[in-house]
Structure 1
Amino acid sequence: MKALRLILAAGALTAIAGTTFAADEQVVKESVYAFPSYLDPVSVRAEVGTTGYGGAISYRVNPYVALSLGYNGGDISWSDELKIDGTKYDMDMDNNNTYLNAEIYPWGASQNTFARSLYVAAGVGYLDNDYGLTKNVGGNSLVKVNGERFTTSSTQSAKIDGTMSYDNNISPYVGFGLNTPVYKNIGVFGEVGAYYTGNPTVSLKTSGDDQIIGSNGNTLESAVEKEQHNIENKSKYEWMPVAKVGMSFKF
């Protein structure tokens, strides 16, 4: 799996390099502000999303191609929950992502502003993300683990906690976005995509009344062990989704 990620990542980097060397139509125009002319193709942006908060610097090679180098990190979560095989875990997120993307604008020379702003991103990221997972099961509660239902009595309680990590991964990325000006040199953008990470490293542990029997006859402890195995092996956990929005400033 790691070899496949590296092959795909190498392919993404080759494509990025190819778009750079193949470019023969440099963007050169007078800036709205008194910045040096060599900064004309450069823009910076601030962004926030599922991979944290941060920013990027972009170089518009020509109307059809831009290169972006960025970083996302920190603890950002829209819901502070992560649903895995029916189990909703409280999540503590710690992101650390660096990426290099080529952004392809198929209609970069169009007179239509919306069409001109659409792009496809392809690139590679260095991911070092850790997620703390916790699930508290109080008395008279129902929890679903690995597709099995567990119900506690008034005197029973249990806890599931652990970690899920994408450590030191070199991962290829593909995404789709919109980057459009709104006022002079100020613009907004949004992007959705996914990294191909391979399965994460997972550790889940139970404590408390973890021997309660579920609807399929398994103990809570054994169901958690099976859920950990599924996360480490199911193909649907090989992709890490990305969604982010932000603002840009062009020199």
Structure 2
Amino acid sequence: MKLIKLTAVSAAILGSTAAMAADPIVVVDDNDTVAYPVAAPAYQYNQDAGIIRNTTGAVVGTTKTIFNTAINPAAVSAEVGSLGYGANIAWSINETTELQAGWAGGDVADLFGGDFDVEDIEYDVDSDFSNPYLGVQMRPAANWFTVGAGVIVPDNDIDINANSKNGEYEIDNVKYDASEVGTLKGSVEHRNDLAPYLTVGFRPNISNNFGVFGEIGAAYLGDVNSSVSASGGTNAIEAENAVNAANRELENEDYLEWLPIVKLGATYRF
């Protein structure tokens, strides 16, 4: 009988996901009463009585709790921003912390003007983003203010086309004749397969179920690999020099290692 009691109590300990109880919990088996310092799910542990009536039920009940939590998220959100258009699902860890899994992507260049400058040369951008992410959203002061952290798995296609000014490309303080060089275009790709991110924001509720949010931050994507090429020019040597200078300048531009995060969205809470 003592072996059965110990086995039952061990199962209750392994099955519980609550913190260890400060006071002993009394396990009642027939007419015997034994006190053990074990943890139990809140819905099965009576704080006043300090008793678990059925240790088998504690194990099964805990499994159901984990399963129900997994299939019943706390909220779903839609978003738009520098990562693209997307959505995420959140699971509540506690009153101030949620685990988020989401995806954002699409043609981000259309959202933000579709060009960027590197030193003295402007590039038109055509993009196709895919940014699945997993992170934690926290409310450190238990109010609207939020802090988010996590990791993005970027798979972003970024095509670029250089614009000439007054018939010239100025790259690394050297001017190249656009007719001799031809068209400069190519792509850039970040080297990191995983990009850690950090954001701050606000998440006010506008009703019992609906809320809005805004976030700003950045993700570190690492160094850039550039593959610019020239076509249609009249001077092959001049074109090669311009291509080498453009690739070198792009790969040395520090700010391209970072992806700014700016997003707005709406949330529905269950």
Q: With structure 2 as the length reference, what TM-score do the two structures score?
A: 0.65
CA distance in 2, matches of 1:210, 1:187: 59
1:123 and 2:150 are equivalent in the alignment: yes
Gaps of 5+ in 1: 1-20, 23-36, 109-115, 213-217
Corresponding position of 1:145: 171
- 1:182 pairs, out of 200, 206, 226, with 206
Q: Is the 8 A contact 1:41 1:61 kept in 2?
A: no
CA distance in 2, matches of 1:166, 1:196: 10
User: 3-state SS of the aligned residue for 1:184?
Assistant: coil
CA distance in 1, matches of 2:253, 2:180: 31
Corresponding position of 1:247: 266
Equivalent residue letter for 1:144: E
How far apart are 1:150 and its partner, in Å?
Answer: 4.7
User: 3-state SS of the aligned residue for 1:169?
Assistant: coil
How far apart are 1:143 and its partner, in Å?
Answer: 4.0
Q: Rg bigger for which structure?
A: 2
Deviations 1:55-75 (A, max 9, x none): 001123223212111101111
Q: Is the 8 A contact 2:181 2:238 kept in 1?
A: no
How far apart are 1:198 and its partner, in Å?
Answer: 1.1
Gaps of 5+ in 2: 1-17, 20-67
Instruction: Give runs of aligned pairs for residues 91-130 of structure 1, distance below 5 A.
Output: 91-108=125-142, 116-130=143-157
How far apart are 1:237 and its partner, in Å?
Answer: 2.7
User: 3-state SS of the aligned residue for 2:241?
Assistant: helix
Q: With structure 1 as the length reference, what TM-score do the two structures score?
A: 0.69
Equivalent residue letter for 1:53: Y
How far apart are 1:47 and its partner, in Å?
Answer: 0.7
Change (3 A) 1:183 1:146: farther
CA distance in 2, matches of 1:121, 1:233: 29
Q: Which has the higher contact order (CA 8 A, sep 6+)?
A: 1
CA distance in 1, matches of 2:255, 2:124: 20
1:158 and 2:182 are equivalent in the alignment: yes
Q: Is the 8 A contact 2:82 2:261 kept in 1?
A: yes
Corresponding position of 2:219: 195
